[in-house]
């Protein structure tokens, strides 16, 4: 099995991105090195999307899991839908403020996650970690890469399962609402374990 796991760089308002920290922790764990390909994507619409497309084309993975931070959330959020829209309230790290623009002009309106979200939920919940389903991944770079991955897989005819998981801010960064980084790392590792056991 080949799994692509991605996080993001910091961006305005998020000096330390917990998604990056989690991915880097997993990347440094020898237990995951044989089958997990990790990547820290730039928080830039076009560049992040292009990089993820390239990874999918290169590796033809069985699974793609993208991680991103959602400030203000208190639980691990398993995203159900990616929308064909960039509609941000703040610019990405390149300074681009994308508002009301389709990601793929002739693409379908939305894609549904093909990850085993119910199994992920059960695995996280069994550890006593707060978890929820979410129908909306926002319209910033997180949603952009979620949609881009699904579109690439769809157009390539791959059987790859893909989706997005939002995590809260980490309490170590003095976030008013969030979770400890060890807790969030354990949640993502629990999701990965469900995939390798299937």
Residues 115-140, mean pLDDT to the nearest whole number: 96
Residue 148 has a pLDDT of 97
Q: Report pLDDT for 154.
A: 95
- Assigned CATH for 3-197: 3.40.630.20
Closest CA to 140 of 195, 99, 106, 104: 99
- Residue burial 67-80, b: 16+ Cβ < 10 Å; e: rest: bbbbeebebbbbbb
* Percentage above 90 pLDDT, the chain: 79
CB neighbourhood size of 52 (10 A): 23
- Average pLDDT for 78-96: 92
Q: Give me the pLDDT at residue 90, please.
A: 87
Q: Look at residue 175 in the predicted model and tell me its pLDDT.
A: 63
Q: Residue 89's pLDDT is what?
A: 87
Q: pLDDT at position 92, please?
A: 86
Helix, coil or strand: residue 12 = coil
Output the pLDDT for position 10: 93
Q: How many residues does the chain have?
A: 198
Hunting for tokens 């990601």 — which residue is that?
103
Residue 197 pLDDT exceeds 90? no
Task: Give the pLDDT confidence score for residue 45 in this predicted structure.
Answer: 93
Question: Is 0.85 topped by the overall pTM?
Answer: yes
Q: Which residues are catalytic?
A: 79, 142, 166
For the segment 146-156, the average pLDDT, to the nearest whole number, is 96
Say which residue, 71 or 127, is predicted with more confidence. Answer: 127
Indicate the pLDDT class of residue 174, thresholds 50, 70 and 90. low
């Amino acid at each position: 099995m080949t799994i692509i796991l991605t996080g993001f760089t910091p961006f305005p308002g998020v000096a330390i991105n917990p998604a990056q920290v989690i991915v880097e922790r997993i990347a440094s764990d020898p237990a995951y090195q044989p089958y997990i390909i990790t990547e820290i994507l730039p928080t830039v619409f076009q560049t992040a999307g292009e990089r993820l497309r390239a990874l999918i084309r290169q590796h033809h993975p069985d699974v793609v899991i993208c991680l991103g931070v959602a400030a203000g959330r208190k639980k691990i959020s398993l995203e159900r839908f990616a929308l064909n829209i960039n509609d941000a309230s703040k610019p990405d790290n390149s300074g681009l403020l994308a508002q009301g623009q389709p990601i793929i002009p002739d693409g379908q309106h939305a894609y549904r996650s093909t990850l085993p979200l119910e199994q992920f939920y059960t695995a996280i919940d069994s550890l006593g970690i707060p978890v929820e389903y979410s129908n909306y991944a926002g319209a910033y770079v997180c949603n952009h890469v979620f949609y881009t991955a699904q579109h690439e897989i769809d157009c390539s005819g791959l059987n790859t399962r893909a989706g997005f998981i939002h995590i809260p801010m980490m309490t170590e960064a003095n976030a008013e609402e969030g979770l400890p980084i060890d807790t969030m790392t354990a949640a993502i590792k629990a999701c990965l374990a469900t995939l390798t056991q299937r």
